[in-house]
Amino acid sequence: MKIQQLGSSLDSGCATQYLTTFLINDYVAIDAGCLGLLTPVSKQQSIEHVFLSHSHLDHVASLPLFLDNIYEQESQPPAVYAHEDVWRTLKTDLFNDRLWPDLLRIGAKGNRFLEEHLLVSELPIALSGLRITPVTVNHVIPTLGFLVEDDQSAVIIASDTGPTERLWELAGLQPFRQKLQAVFLECSFSADQAWLANESKHLHSSIFAAEIGKLSAIPRFITVAVHLKGSLREQIERELTALDLADLQMGGADRTWEF
Ligand SMILES: [Zn+2]
Ligand SMILES: [Zn+2]
């Protein structure tokens, strides 16, 4: 399984992530924060499935651009998967003809811009070679983390969350547990911003180790810290490095992992 974290900075050498998108095997996207900025556009055209964790802008901002960029008459539209609350928000607040044309209404009259699919927590979706299980995590609006697996390997993309439980419980079940290779876990805030992390239901560097420690019964996976606030990135990295966690890596623009 190949996982790529897409870059979202105009400086191609900059690791800072302002927006969130992960690509899996070049044809599945988790979140669309920067998906619509991916170049060349042929890489966007290769995306067949888009899973949305929640409706916050850093996770959906470029979804309208992506759908516009890849639209072609007579071709199969991408499948977009989201929780019913996310669909409600997208239809009310984004695809409303004011912020962006209502692609669902326009598409209903001819070739569709997207296929709408519903995500329900703990109901897996099987795609060619992949199984993706959404699991409710602990954020200020309904949000799904994802357990992603193929025959050989598995990863967790936890999305935006404060301290959570069910995602780790399910990850501890076989056969997922024995295949687990990597956990992409957010650390949005530094220790001195703990109050803001608590208000906004994110993790901060003081509780990051305790959170990943909930998987301590599972051996030999790497932890990748992601979703570090741009203005706090260096401080958060310093604080996480000082934790001296085994197998901790920092995520970053255009990093790729193969499992
Ligand atoms: Zn969020
Ligand atoms: Zn976010």
Q: How many domains does the chain have?
A: 1
At residue 69, the 3 state secondary structure works out as helix
Distance of CA 233 from the midpoint of ligand 2 (Å): 14
pTM of the model: 0.97
Distance of CA 160 from the midpoint of ligand 2 (Å): 5
Mean pLDDT (whole number) for 134-145: 98
Distance of CA 55 from the midpoint of ligand 1 (Å): 7
Distance of CA 159 from the midpoint of ligand 1 (Å): 8
Distance of CA 78 from the midpoint of ligand 1 (Å): 23
Averaged confidence pLDDT in the chain: 96
Reply yes or no on whether the pLDDT at 128 is more than 90.
no
CB 200 within 8 A of CB 182: no
Distance of CA 139 from the midpoint of ligand 1 (Å): 7
- Rounded Cα distance between 54 and 142, Å, is 7
β-bridge pairing 144-149 and 154-157? antiparallel
- Rounded Cα distance between 14 and 103, Å, is 33
Distance of CA 142 from the midpoint of ligand 2 (Å): 13
Q: What is the pLDDT of residues 11-67, one digit of tens each?
A: 777 788 899 999 999 999 999 999 999 999 999 999 999 999 999 999 999 999 999
Distance of CA 195 from the midpoint of ligand 1 (Å): 16
CATH of the domain at 105: 3.60.15.10
Residues 6+ apart with CB under 8 A from 210: 163
Mean pLDDT (whole number) for 136-164: 98
- Rounded Cα distance between 25 and 117, Å, is 20
At residue 194, the 3 state secondary structure works out as helix
**pLDDT value at position 110?**
84
Q: Which ligand is nearest to the CA of 20?
A: 2
- Rounded Cα distance between 12 and 29, Å, is 20
Q: What is the pLDDT of residues 74-106, one digit of tens each?
A: 889 999 999 999 999 999 999 999 999 999 999
Residue among 143, 36, 44 at smallest CA distance from 89: 143
- The highest-confidence range among 72-81, 144-153, 247-256, by mean pLDDT, is 144-153
**pLDDT value at position 169?**
98
Q: Which ligand is nearest to the CA of 58?
A: 2
**pLDDT value at position 174?**
95
What is the per-residue burial (b if ≥16 Cβ within 10 Å, else e) of 136-172?
Answer: bbbbeebbbbbbbbbeeebbbbbbbbbebeebbebbe
CB 149 within 8 A of CB 125: no
Could you list the residue range(s) of the whole structural domain that residue 192 is in?
2-258
- Rounded Cα distance between 81 and 7, Å, is 22
